[in-house]
Structures are given as structure tokens and as C-alpha cells.
Amino acid sequence: MKTISSRWPGVWLLGLALVTTPPLIAQDTHEAIAVAEPLTYAVVYSDSAGQSHFADRQVDFKLIDYAPPAPPISVSQTTPADGIAYLSSPAGWTGDWHPAPRRQMILCLSGEVEVEVSDGEVRTFGSGALLLVEDTIGSGHITRVVGRDRAYLAAVPFPD
């Protein structure tokens, strides 16, 4: 019985070349790599009357030689933080009206979380979503874990 390598040695060598040859990407020029579009995230904030609302903000990027010799990558400005905490709640969990314990970025790692603000707007955040909570005064918001799965979140608190 003949194997593919002995029957078609040229094909086997071509396959080996495709596997071992690095991709052809122009890494020496910044023009060959496009800067990322802005990243939009939601914010829960309190107005002067203590009522909570949603707003949308964006993170802008610049193309930077962040980790040479890797090619340039889109990088945002650095935001000072006080660490990271991981949170988890089962499906069906509800945190009734409460203000954020401090200004912090919430990253949804898995599951789905629904947030309701005092003006009645409700938004759902799934895996990969970012939510900045800064409604540290007033009525706050309601948080619910929706769907069938436990939610896992990462909370990145910001300095006061």
C-alpha cells in the first residue's frame, strides 16, 4: 500500500511548506495594519437628582509598537485601576435597587446580565460586554442574571 507522501511527494512537500511558512503580512509598515474602530461600551450614571440612566461611551485606539518585535497593535489610553475581582451569580439571581459600591468597569465573561436603571431603560449584557457603573449615589440600578446559565463577571474598580 502506498502512502500519500510516496505517491505524491510534491503535494506532501507543498503541504509542509504551507504549514511551516509564516503568513505573508507586511509587518514593517504601519500602513499595512489598520487601527481598530472605537470600542463602544455602556455606562450607568446618576444625574443630579440621584436617578440612574444609561449612556454610551467609546474607547479610541492608536496604532502602537506595543510589544516589539510583534507588529503594531491598536492600543487605548491606560486607565488606572485598583485591581480586579471576579463575581459570579446563578441564573435567576436578582440584586434589587442598589447603587454601585464604587466606580468600576464590569466585564461580562459568560452568562447574561440584565441591568435596569431608574428611568426604566433595561439593557442585557452577554459575554464580552463592558459596562462602566458609576451610579454610586441615588437609587442605583437593578441587576438580574437572565437565561439558564450562571454569570461570571470581572469587576475592575477605579481609584476614588
* Lookup: cell for 26: 507586511
Q: Give the list of residues 6+ apart from residue 50 with CB closer than 8 angstroms, or none.
A: 137, 138, 139
pTM: 0.77
Is 70 exceeded by the pLDDT of residue 1?
A: no
Is 80 exceeded by the pLDDT of residue 148?
A: yes
Q: Give the list of residues 6+ apart from residue 109 with CB closer than 8 angstroms, or none.
A: 86, 127, 152, 153, 154
Peptide bond into 68 cis (omega under 30): no
Is 50 exceeded by the pLDDT of residue 130?
A: yes
30 vs 45, higher pLDDT: 45
pLDDT of residue 33: 87
The model's pLDDT over 78-110, given as tens digits with 9 standing for 90+, comes to: 999 999 999 999 999 999 999 999 999 999 999
The model's pLDDT over 52-66, given as tens digits with 9 standing for 90+, comes to: 999 999 999 999 999
* pLDDT tier, 28 (very low <50, low <70, confident <90, very high otherwise): low
* pLDDT tier, 19 (very low <50, low <70, confident <90, very high otherwise): very low
- Does the domain spanning 32-157 belong to CATH 3.40.1350.10? no
